[in-house]
Amino acid sequence: MTTTTATPPVASPRPTLLSVDDDPAVSRSVARDLRRRYGSGYRIVRAESGDTALEALRELKLRGEQVAVLLADHRMPGMTGIEFLEQAMDLFPQARRILLTAYADTEAAIDAVNVVDLDHYLLKPWQPPEEKLYPVIDAQLDAWAASAPSPVPQVKVVGHRWSARSSQVREFLARNQVSYRWFSSESPEGRRLLDAAGADESAVPLVVTHEGEPLHSPDDATLAARVGLTTTPATDFYDLVVVGGGPAGLSAALYGASEGLRTALVERVATGGQAGQSSRIENYLGFPDGVSGAQLTERARRQAVRFGAEIVLAADVVGLDVQGAARQLRLADGSVVGAHTVLLANGVSYRELDGPGLAALTGRGVYYGSALTEAPACQDQDVYVVGGANSAGQSAMYLSRTARSVTLVVRGEQLSASMSHYLVEQLSANPKVRVRTCCEVVDASGDEHLERLVLQDSVTGEKEEVETSHLFVFIGAVPRTEWLDGTVARDPRGFVLAGPDLLVDGRPPAGWPLDRPPYHLETSQPGVFVAGDARAESAKRVASAVGEGAMAVMLVHRYLEQL
């Protein structure tokens, strides 16, 4: 049999092949076989537990290095191979994933195809490797080399733990899959970087790009442009422009581009929306073991880009104008992008908690939708989460992994009124989570950062002061639609009306210029559609948002056929 060894793309240092098996003899055997054939072009790393392997992957990620292939034994104590590969996807989504199984575990390997997008599974033993191992690895390396992104030297961020803007910069980079390394401004290396940039602690956050350019407290648009993200549209006119990169927007971009429409998606911060910040989505169709919001939306982003959708980040849409058959979106930087059709999928913002001290401590202990980014700082801490819906419950479960305790503060009388049943059961069974119903946060205080909260029983009026340095708030949502005032019809809360909700006694609304009534997801402005959480009376679920995004593209086609 003649085989060819895959050649890695030019990169320094070498890409990594990582294997993990809890049997030391098997682990050494795998590494030996890999090193014998691939050692000259790839770094071979082995581990004997999932936790150790994940730690190695985190170090590689921080150094800006690439991982080409992951090989994981299925039967490992503490963390199975499938569980390891699922977590490894968050760190290296482009890495090819191989499960090592015994013959009796082939059914589990097949199931893993859906859970972790498994690329291949190998039966043990694989002797001789020339016939049973190397051809598989060669094929996976060829596939990885064809799609692997060019390595990007590491971005460095110097900031203060309790600096609000430092927290925002870290979250922006993390949500946009930009590898960076964090340095405290009080650490020796942080001080060296500040000195080299001619700055002091008052200038944090300092961002040092991979090219060595220092950025002093940059805004999102500047930061995005300097770290290599696309921030301006490639052209000035499209068939479809999608506003917002959550599940509805990504779905529409994917289907629009795959069906031949010149499609651009314009996103204010990062793709994924609120769903992308969810630590765990367990009721999404096709993922029986759950999936993180970051995993789900990153897959959707890659899929949309593969079909030709253009994704523009850090672009804030501030206005919509209609000029004949064209719809023009005005951006905050003064530029304009036009299209035959527009889909409003810009979602919602977290509602802010009202009370003395809370606004001043935002980003310095009080966080909105930042549980994933801030979770490492909550280790062995007593943290508080406010909210009674799924996002609050998911965050409480996620934070309980490392926090000493998590208190879920709920204004209502019971969780079941607004939270999925499976989450209510998980919270009830978690010894680290305490649920306080009929309770509200009414005050926050602290010097440099959050130190104390005041809780009030909404029935008795009794108040209690508690000590904590972290409060995560999930108390509902406000639509980002103020920029549409006077252009499309909205309900009293600001959600966009569409389709049947626009009809008055079964007739189109006043000023509707066409003979037909509005399509199901069409707004009061023909050719402008809405999908997802920004739509009035939407289901506020990831699955429904994805479905609406796909449906909107079908209606876009119908609209374009009539032009």
Residue pLDDT, tens place only, 417-455: 889 999 999 999 999 999 999 999 999 999 989 999 999
User: How far is 440 from 452, CA to CA, in rounded Å?
Assistant: 14
Give residue 2's pLDDT band: very low, low, confident or very high (50, 70, 90): very low
| Mean per-residue pLDDT, 183-207 | 87
> What average pLDDT does this structure show over 180-202?
87
Q: What is the pLDDT of residue 36?
A: 94
Nearest to 386 by CA among 372, 401, 366, 363: 366
Q: Which homologous superfamily does the CATH classification assign to the domain defined by 366-475?
A: FAD/NAD(P)-binding domain (3.50.50.60)
Most confident of 87-91, 97-101, 112-116, 146-150: 97-101
When pLDDT is averaged across residues 131-142 and rounded to a whole number, the result is 93
Q: What is the pLDDT of residue 150?
A: 64
**Intrachain domains 155-226 and 237-349+478-561 with the same fold:** no
Provide CATH code, domain 155-226: 3.40.30.10
Q: What is the mean pLDDT of residues 110-123?
A: 73
Lowest mean pLDDT: which of 10-14, 312-316, 356-360, 493-497? Answer: 10-14
Q: Does domain 16-147 have CATH number 3.40.50.2300?
A: yes
Asked if 42 contacts 14 with a C-beta cutoff of 8 angstroms, the reply is yes
Residue range 46-72: mean pLDDT, rounded: 86
Sheet containing 206-208: give its strands across.
180-184, 155-159, 206-208, 214-216
The full set of domain ranges for the chain reads: 16-147, 155-226, 237-349+478-561, 366-475
Tell me the percentage of the chain whose pLDDT exceeds 90: 64
Helix (H, G, I), strand (E, B) or coil at 369: coil
Place of tokens 């529409």: 252
Q: Do 245 and 265 contact (CB within 8 A), yes or no? A: yes
| Count of alpha carbons within 13 angstroms of residue 431, beta-carbon side | 0
452-491 as b/e, with b when 16 or more CB fall inside 10 Å? ebbbbeeeeeeeeeeebbbbbbbbebebbbebbeebbbbe
Query: Of 193 and 125, which is predicted with more confidence?
Result: 193
pLDDT at 110 over 50: yes
CA-closest candidate to residue 170, choices 206, 211, 212, 222: 206
pLDDT above 90 (res 111): no
Per-residue pLDDT, 258: 97
Cα-Cα-Cα-Cα torsion 317, 318, 320, 323, nearest 10 degrees, comes to -100
Q: Which fold has domain 237-349+478-561?
A: FAD/NAD(P)-binding domain (3.50.50)
Whether pLDDT at 203 is above 50: yes
Provide the whole-model pTM: 0.75
